[in-house]
Amino acid sequence: MSNRPSSSQSSVGTGGLSHAYIQHPSLRCNVPESRGLFYDDANRLLICVTSDQVFSWETASFNPEVSPSADSISEGPILSVRFSLDKKVIAVQRSDSEIQFFHRETKKTLTHKCRAGSESLLGFFWSDSPLCDLAVVKTSGMDLFACDSAMNLRLVETKKVNVNWYIYTHESRLVLLASGLQCKTITGFQLSTAGVVRLPKFEMTLATTESNSKPIISAGDVHLITVYGRIYCLQVDREAMLLHTYRFYRDAVVQQGSLPIYSSKLSVSVVDNLLLVHQIDAKVVIIYDLFVDSRAPVSAPLPLLWRGYQGSDTSSQATNKENEGPEASTSNENIVMYEDAWTFLVPDLILDQTNKVLWRVHLDLEAISASSSDRTSLLELLQRRKLEANKAKQLCLGISRALILERRPATQVTQAIDVLVTAYSYSVKAGIYKELKNEKTTATTSTNGSSPDNERQRASGSSISEEEVEMDLPSGSADGQQESQLSSPAISPDELYKFVFASVEEMMIDESDYLVAIITEFLRSISAEKLKVDLNIYVMTLRLLAHSKRFAELSLFVTNKIIEPSKEVALQLLESGGQNLRVRKLGLDMLRQLSLHHEYISSLVQDGYYLEALRYAQKRKVTSVRSSLFLEAAFASNDMQHLAAILRVLSEMIPGFKETSEYYTFHGLLNETSSSVAV
Amino acid sequence: MASVISVGDESLRLCVFDLRRGQTEGQELDKILFFHPPELDVSTQLSVIGLSEGAIWRIDALRRVLKEVHSLFVMFHGSVRALLEKEPTGGLTRAQLYPFIADYLSTFQKRSRSEDCCCDLFVGKKLQLPNFRETTLSERGTVQMLTLARDTALEVQSLVQVLDSCAGNLRCHSMILFQDLLVSTTLSADDTVNLFTFTVMRLTSKALSSDASSWSYLRKGSGSSEVSSRSTSAPVGSVDSLHSGNGDNMLHVIRPLQHDKWKKGKDGFLVTDIWGLETGGSPDSAIPTVWLQQTQERVYLLAYQYKSLTLLLLLPTTAILNGDLSISAVKQQVIEQASLRIMKIEEKISRGWGGENAYHVKGYRYLVVDNDMEISRASPSGKVATLAKESLLALNKLREEVDLEKSRAQKKEKDLEICIRAKNNAWVIARVSRGKELYMALEKASDTLLDATDAVGRFSNRYCSGAFLMD
């Protein structure tokens, strides 16, 4: 297991350990005479109805301070409420045969009835498909209506299917119609912006036992979820105690393994593309990442926690409901985890009908990190996080640093670095690693390009929902105050250098071999991805190699350009060359190759090669080097012939040199010392 | 201590002697530690001592041959001085030197036969005229490097680190060759040169296959079998009898340069029975060991080969003797951790490798020597062979001049440029700049001196990153 040096988790008792939590404050529907709470997933509205009014809260911003908007409607029973997608019309299902429409501006009312007796109305939803605006699901099938601004309904198409129940989520635009005695025959339609697509009919898997030879699937047993742009259907098989997963492709529905369940009552949430399976009887959550083929959970089953303070990132401030903190009493909520009145809403909301509050489910990435021993998989998981990109990024950096400081085997560190470099490279290629201001334009383009017509031309087998989801995913700004402006936890090579390698250098200086090995693998990794890195890492590598006197390798690093040439590198070579002349020469060669004439000439003079330096200066017409440098060097070497020669060359090179005081000084010195040398 | 190669009457005489020995009259012969040919009478042998002039060979080239055989001897046996101090009779030293130098010299013979080039030091019993082609555009005692692309270099460095870690926490050294070019080393320059020389002589896939192909010839003819039979007449006694002695009281003569003694094992490691058989006694005593100058320690030498790639792994003997490490465990580690990478790197290098003439530059016959790094690069021998004899003679002369200048300059590195018009109108040019030397022959007779120096400048800028600045 991990022994991370610092984990806030460790300071809290086991009672506080959790990977997922709900947090104060909730969205509260403090409407007197409330007759029921509804959730409109298309508009992400929490709706509270009284006998003649509809109150609605925007949940996207999840701001408890915002007051609801209120609309008056005629009195009557309410089975469900949904706002039209432009929010101009409120549709209310009154009975199993009647839907009423209220125009919020014109106050116009319309009643839609289906044939009484022969069929009954199961529900309805609004659609943004070009074909229809409204879909009404009945026991005899699905009617698709167009609805104009004057609220006239026109039937455009009818899909005839015997329907026992249906489920629909707006984020997937997918409606599943269940038929058959066991309700396991599923007909699916996607009402996307490109039209209505019929999915291949499929049968759900149901185990039978002697006691129950014909189990029946109910609507509550089936969940549509969207993760990583893919649509999955999850189905509870109570006899087998399994949660079957099906993935939807354009032309196929493929069962993709099953997850064990530990509770006959089950629900799911999706937070940041991770699947949270609530084992309601057991009162624990198990987190899965469907991105990887492995169906192993991300973390062990732990209870869902309730936290008091907003903005308390650390789990140390997490408070379990059971240890009723002062925050809990002030908030006047009597929360019972997983009580019967909880409704799990798509994707990450929990509606508590008893307390009339709405919670959002959060993940505690820190806790997940702390309890994971496989660092490579953990880094991969963190790199896929979008919601709390900054936190994921910081955790990744911390993990990388810890791996090195703990002297983990180089292969293990290499794997970790590979994960980060690959993820960065991917995010750059995918255009995710950008400033936030670019994000909107990216989203728009993806919406435009989301028509399944385009998609159809792509490789078959791609998720039908891929673009849909991108178009409709919550923008990740739900927790405005908490969230940083990062859209991706990707870590650039420069950041890896700065926050990992450079930050551990001082502590690791006596294990420079180990650090060099890791840096080499890092360089190999970024070279494989054709990325660039801050050249300071090269300077650091040189420093480390010189520190451990590995001059043979240092030479190879330089000559093979593993260490890319630069002025900074050359200067470091000159400095390290104090111990080793060969290394110093490598530095000089690099200066020359980079045409850093001034530095080259100065270094030559410094090494006593003032004649060579002057010849080079003459050849390259470099006059920026102080002429006194050559003269002083020659004078210091006590070679008056050289001094004379240098004076002559400088006189030719620099116009008016003979008039300078320098010339007089050294000419004088020359004559003093040896009158025989002619200038 | 001195060595002499004397060439007269077209026969080679090679002698290793110590002037401090045999000071009293009648004991003069004790000075001699090695003499070739051994059948030469004693008075002639003694008369050779002190002579150090090769007739046609450039002295520095001869000096480098001697230095090479000496360095190799020291690498395998430790310094001769130390051997003599340990054993004042000099018996073991002689017994080691005789076969060692004979084995070394036979390399030249073999090479000339098998490759049909003319680098003969001697053929049979006679020394043939040494060929300038071997010595004028090459520099013994330097390493030839393979130029790597950056991504390949990173892969190689990554492999080096894996090799390093194959001995657990011990820092071990490694060296990698592709064919007979150096790819990577973690050793000091001097140790690298010695091991590189040995590897190219005996261990590379080319050396192994040439051993195998010439085997039948050697059995029939006068090759190394002759060497050992001649060694039998060495003053101290038969090499074979010495070699067979395993007891402590017997002299254990090891002939590290013996031919046909290395084979590639099934696991990819090269095996030899030169150091004994692995079955007898301590299994590790049969593993070759070498002496590293830089660290002054004795290390086990493990050689692994995959196609054209030869890898040397050097493990401190002390660590293994202490039982901290076992050779077989290291081998297992190499196979498990590195063999896949080795395969990939071999593939990658082979794909990008330009073949024997990879470093040929059209129109130039050149030699570049970097004395600091102890590396050199030259036109491929096949291309050098196309040069006219006049060009080579001029070049040889030129190199002697440069050698002279260098010895005059002593420690201070001097910049130097010499251009000579040879009899055949070829330009032979030498340039020396801060420890780097460039020699070349340009046979385009119509070139003016200006053209010639321009050509050198272009070469310097293009292939030597401008190391040889033009005036």
Tell me if chain B has a CB within 8 Å of the CB of A662. Answer: no
A408 at interface of B, judged by CB pairs closer than 8 A: no
Say whether the ipTM exceeds 0.85.
no
Best A524, A554, A593, A594 residue to mutate vs chain B (most B CBs within 10 Å): A524
Q: Which pLDDT does position B42 carry in this prediction?
A: 75
Of the candidates A413, A397, A405, the one whose C-alpha atom is nearest the C-alpha of residue A520 is A413
Cβ-Cβ contacts under 8 Å, B295 against chain A: none
Residue B162 lies in a domain: yes
CATH number at residue B268: 3.30.450
Is residue B311 one of the residues assigned to a domain? Answer: yes
Q: For residue A312, what are its two tokens?
A: 């308390």
Q: Is B185 on the interface with A (CB under 8 A)?
A: yes
A557 in contact with B at a CB cutoff of 8 Å? Answer: yes
Same domain, B289 and B404: no
pLDDT at A136: 95
Rg (alpha carbons) of chain B, rounded to whole number: 23
The pLDDT, as a whole number, for residue A334 is 67
Query: Are the beta carbons of B161 and A615 separated by less than 8 Å?
Result: no
Residue B357, domain member (yes or no): no
On whether any CB of chain B is under 8 Å from the CB of A621, the answer is: no
Residues (pLDDT < 70) of chain B are 1-11, 19-20, 23, 46-57, 108-134, 211-251, 277-285, 321-324, 411, 445-446, 470-471
Look at A552 and B192 and tell me if their CB atoms are within 8 Å.
yes
* Alpha-carbon separation of residue A424 from A230, A302, B126, B144, B175 (angstroms): 22, 31, 68, 39, 34
Residue A242 pLDDT exceeds 90: yes
Look at B153 and A556 and tell me if their CB atoms are within 8 Å.
yes
Q: How far is A202 from chain B (nearest CA, A)?
A: 46
Any bridge partners for residue B135, and if so which? none
Residue-wise pLDDT tens digits, A85-120: 999 999 999 999 999 999 999 999 999 988 777 889
- Residue to substitute from B147, B150, B169, interface A, most A β-carbons within 10 A: B150
What proportions of chain A, in percent to the nearest 5, are helix, strand and coil? 35, 25, 40
Q: Lowest-pLDDT range, A232-236, A468-472, B461-465?
A: A468-472
Contact B153 A528 (CB under 8 A): no
Contact call for B372 and A593, based on CB within 8 A: no
B160 touching A (Cβ < 8 Å): yes
Q: Does the residue B139 lie in any domain? A: no
Q: Are B186 and A615 inside 8 Å of each other by CB? A: no
> In the prediction, which pLDDT does B146 show?
94
Same domain, B328 and B413: no
Helix (H, G, I), strand (E, B) or coil at B251: coil
Pick the last residue of a domain from B292, B317, B352. Answer: B352
Phi, psi at A391, each rounded to 5°? -65, -45
The pLDDT value given to residue B471: 55
A524–B155 CB contact, under 8 Å: yes
Residues B397 and B327 in one domain: no
Contact B151 A582 (CB under 8 A): no
Residue of A nearest to B460 (CA): A593
Backbone angles phi, psi at A443, to 5 degrees: -65, -40
Which chain A residue lies closest to B467 (C-alpha atoms)? Answer: A589
Question: Which residues numbered 563-592 in A keep a CB inside 8 Å of some CB on B?
Answer: 564, 581-582, 585, 588-589, 592
The C-alpha atoms of residue B431 and residue B464 are separated, in whole angstroms, by 12
Q: Show which of B82, B98, B131 is a domain's final residue.
A: B131
Is residue B159 domain-shared with residue B275, that is, in the same domain?
A: yes
Residues spanned by the domain of B425: 365-463
Joined together, the tokens standing for residue A107 give 């106050």
User: What pTM, to 2 d.p., does this model score?
Assistant: 0.79
Q: Which of B352, B378, B405 is the last residue of a domain?
A: B352
Sequence-ordered list of residues with C-beta below 8 angstroms from that of A403, at least 6 positions apart, any chain:
A375, A412, A413, A416
Q: Is residue A283 within 8 Å of residue A338, measured between CB atoms? A: yes
- B116 phi-psi bin (left φ>0, alpha ψ -120 to 50, beta other): left
- Could you tell me if residue B268 is inside a domain? yes
How do beta strands A305-307 and A20-23 pair?
parallel
Query: Domain check: are B155 and B304 in the same one?
Result: yes
Domain match, B347 and B373 both: no
Terminus-to-terminus CA distance in chain A, angstroms?
80
SS3 category, B1: coil
Query: B371 to chain A: which residues are within 8 Å by CB?
Result: none
Nearest to B189 among A517, A552, A560 (CB): A552
Distance from C-alpha of B382 to C-alpha of B356, rounded to nearest angstrom? 9
B383 neighbors B361 (Cβ within 8 angstroms):
no
Q: Is residue B230 part of a domain?
A: no
Residue linked to tokens 């209220």: A102
Asked if the structure places residue B178 within a domain, the reply is: yes
Which residues sit opposite B10 in a β-bridge? none
- Do residues A207 and A169 lie in contact, with contact meaning Cβ atoms separated by under 8 Å? no
Q: Do B157 and A520 touch (CB under 8 A)?
A: yes
Q: Which residues of A647-657 are buried (b: 16+ CB within 10 A; e: fewer)?
A: bebbbeeeeeb
Whether residue B329 sits in one domain with residue B431 = no
- Asked if B148 reaches chain A (Cβ–Cβ under 8 Å), the answer is yes
Q: Closest to B186 (Cβ–Cβ): which among A527, A552, A589?
A: A552
In chain B, residues 418-437 whose CB comes closer than 8 Å to chain A: 433-435
A619: nearest CA in chain B?
B471
Q: Residue B184: beta bridge partners?
A: B176
Size of interface A-B (CB pairs under 8 A): 82
B158 contacts A556? CB cut-off 8 A: no
Verify that B200 and B276 share a domain, yes or no.
yes
**What is the identity of the amino acid at B291?**
W
Whether residue B312 sits in one domain with residue B375: no
Q: Which of A512, A589, A642 to mutate to probe the B interface, most B CBs <10 Å?
A: A589
B471 CB neighbours in chain A (<8 A) are 615, 619
Instruction: Supply the mean pLDDT for chain A.
Output: 83
Query: Which position has the higher pLDDT, B367 or A473?
Result: B367
**For chain B, how many structural domains are there in total?**
3
Query: Range with the lowest mean pLDDT among A289-293, A399-403, B349-353, B441-445?
Result: B441-445
Q: Following DSSP, what letter does each residue of A508-534 receive, concatenated?
A: HGGGHHHHHHHHHHHHHHHHHTT----
The phi and psi torsions of B194 (rounded to 5 degrees) equal -65, -50
The answer, for A262 touching chain B at a CB cutoff of 8 Å, is no
N-to-C CA span, chain B: 43
Q: Do B415 and A550 touch (CB under 8 A)?
A: no
Q: Are residues B340 and B374 in the same domain?
A: no
**Exposure string over B405-415, b if 16+ CB within 10 A, otherwise e:** ebeeeeeebeb
Q: Is B153 on the interface with A (CB under 8 A)?
A: yes
Using DSSP's 3-state secondary structure scheme, residue B242 falls into helix
Cβ contact A617:A601 at 8 Å = yes
Strands (E), A304-383: 305-307, 342-345, 349-352, 357-363
User: Does A619 touch chain B if contact means CB atoms closer than 8 Å?
Assistant: yes
Which of the residue ranges A42-46, A319-323, A614-618, B192-196 would you say has the lowest mean pLDDT? A319-323
Contacts with B155 from chain A: Cβ below 8 Å = 524
Enumerate the residues of chain B whose CB falls inside 8 A of the CB of residue A553.
157, 160, 185-186
Same domain for B325 and B184? yes
The Cα of A426 is separated from the nearest Cα of chain B by a number of Å equal to 20
Chain B residues touching residue A616 (CB < 8 angstroms): 469
Regarding whether B35 and B113 lie in a shared domain, the answer is yes
Interface with B, mutate which of A585, A604, A637, A649 (most B CBs under 10 A)? A585
